Amino acid sequence: MDKQFKIDITKGSSSKLEKTNFDELAFGQVTSDHMFVADYIEGKWQNFRIEPYAPLQVNPANATLHYGQSVFEGLKAYRNEQGEILVFRGDANQKRLNESAKRMCIPEIPKEIFMEGMRCLLEVDREWVPKQAGCSLYLRPFIFAADDYLGIRPSKKYKFMILASPVGKYYAKPVAVKVETRFARAIEGGTGAAKAAGNYAGSLYPALKAQKDGYDQLLWTDGKTHQYIEESGTMNVMFVIDGVLITAPTTTGTILKGITRDSVLTLAHEMGMPVEERFLTVIELEEALNSGKLEEAFGTGTAATVAFIRLINIHGKDYELKEVAPTAFSVRILEALDNIKYGKVEDKYNWIKKY
């Protein structure tokens, strides 16, 4: 990979900006006017370009369609009061994309391609970063197999792309979750720690079943014993029991190493909040709900930052949680993270890159 590489920019002749209602943004429905694209051919990333957003031509034998050799990321760009664009922890997403890629036999994306591609897309589609409070531009980098071949083997060709989509608040309302003890999102030795497309396909059926019963998300348990709580939907999950913040460790390879999770833990230490990175059992959770010791439960992820949990179903029984007080840890952490993301406070940890 040459240090110096050129991105060809082709701008579209029309824009969707005028037609987009930034006051009513649903997650993932609108994409910006352009996209970044790169090809991996003959062992080399090349053809770096910004193009008008448009459908791709797909050969029906494309390897991704059949075998799901594909990984992705999700991160956000925020606009501060001075109109500058702030991207939160993009380097961490770049690193995680490559960790996921490695697990799926996909060639890694050099850091400078990821960063320059993102910078260039943000420059061309700068006006797509919403000005409305609580809104942001969601960025979706992804890599997928591009071979047109029906045999199973790692593809020889790939595409790396970055899309951008303006978004509002993800989970405005606190969510109801159900502890899943039949299906599993991940198992030890599997691909749970990777942001691999297939993980999400496999989670749809159990999640849909729970939604039909009136729950927003699942609380995933470990695939072997279903006794240990791992994640919630597509978020990491945290509990405050007796003043202690508890979240599952990421050492088993079954849990995605959430960047929000890491940020919350960093700030929790700074705030003097006791933290235990350990597996909470379903039994412990049930006991804490029965005894009233469960003070807070919430998901953490890029889409929502913090998603408050209002109800947990365990083995068919619904437990309502106390309403979160304005002084609750989850409320304070959400505010602290938002303040960093929107550039309202000092960026002590160097999490922000300005554009």
Counting contacts by CB under 6 A, is residue 231 touching ligand PMP? yes
Which is nearer to ligand PMP, 32 or 93 (by Cβ)?
93
Long-range contacts of 198-204 (CB under 8 A, 24+ apart): 198/68, 198/70, 200/234, 201/68, 203/233, 203/234
If binding means CB under 6 A, how many residues of this protein chain bind ligand PMP? 13
Q: Which of 258, 268, 296, 324 binds ligand PMP (CB under 6 A)?
A: 258
Within 13 Å, how many C-alpha atoms sit on residue 274's CB side?
6
CA distances from 233 to 12, 184, 256, 330 (A): 37, 11, 11, 18
274-303: contacts with ligand PMP (CB under 6 A):
300-302
Can you tell me the distance from the alpha carbon of 275 to that of 210, in angstroms, rounded to the nearest whole number?
30
CA nearest neighbour of 280 among 310, 242, 333: 242
CB of 51 to ligand PMP, least distance (A): 26
What does residue 291 show for φ and ψ, rounded to 5 degrees? -85, -5
CB of 208 to ligand PMP, least distance (A): 16
Which is nearer to ligand PMP, 147 or 222 (by Cβ)?
222
CB of 171 to ligand PMP, least distance (A): 13
CB of 202 to ligand PMP, least distance (A): 11
Q: Which of 34, 76, 79, 261 binds ligand PMP (CB under 6 A)?
A: 261
Q: Which of 260, 306, 312, 313 binds ligand PMP (CB under 6 A)?
A: 260
Q: Which of 32, 69, 191, 234 binds ligand PMP (CB under 6 A)?
A: 234
CB of 42 to ligand PMP, least distance (A): 32
Within 13 Å, how many C-alpha atoms sit on residue 150's CB side?
2
Can you tell me the distance from the alpha carbon of 297 to that of 169, in angstroms, rounded to the nearest whole number?
19
Can you tell me the distance from the alpha carbon of 145 to that of 106, in angstroms, rounded to the nearest whole number?
8
Counting contacts by CB under 6 A, is residue 259 touching ligand PMP? yes
41-80: contacts with ligand PMP (CB under 6 A):
74
Can you tell me the distance from the alpha carbon of 221 to that of 184, in angstroms, rounded to the nearest whole number?
7
Which is nearer to ligand PMP, 62 or 250 (by Cβ)?
250
Find the part of the chain contacting ligand PMP (CB under 6 A) among 77-85, 137-145, 228-236, 285-293.
Answer: 228-236
DSSP type of residue 75: E
CB of 254 to ligand PMP, least distance (A): 10
What DSSP line would sit under 277-288, residue for residue?
A: ESPPBHHHHHHH
Counting contacts by CB under 6 A, is residue 256 touching ligand PMP? yes
113-152: contacts with ligand PMP (CB under 6 A):
none
Which is nearer to ligand PMP, 98 or 302 (by Cβ)?
302
Which is nearer to ligand PMP, 188 or 320 (by Cβ)?
188
Residue ranges of alpha helices (H) inside the chain are: 63-67, 90-103, 111-124, 197-212, 259-271, 282-291, 329-341
Counting contacts by CB under 6 A, is residue 330 touching ligand PMP? no
CB of 303 to ligand PMP, least distance (A): 7
Within 13 Å, how many C-alpha atoms sit on residue 216's CB side?
19
* Contact positions vs ligand PMP (CB under 6 A): 74, 231, 234-236, 256, 258-261, 300-302
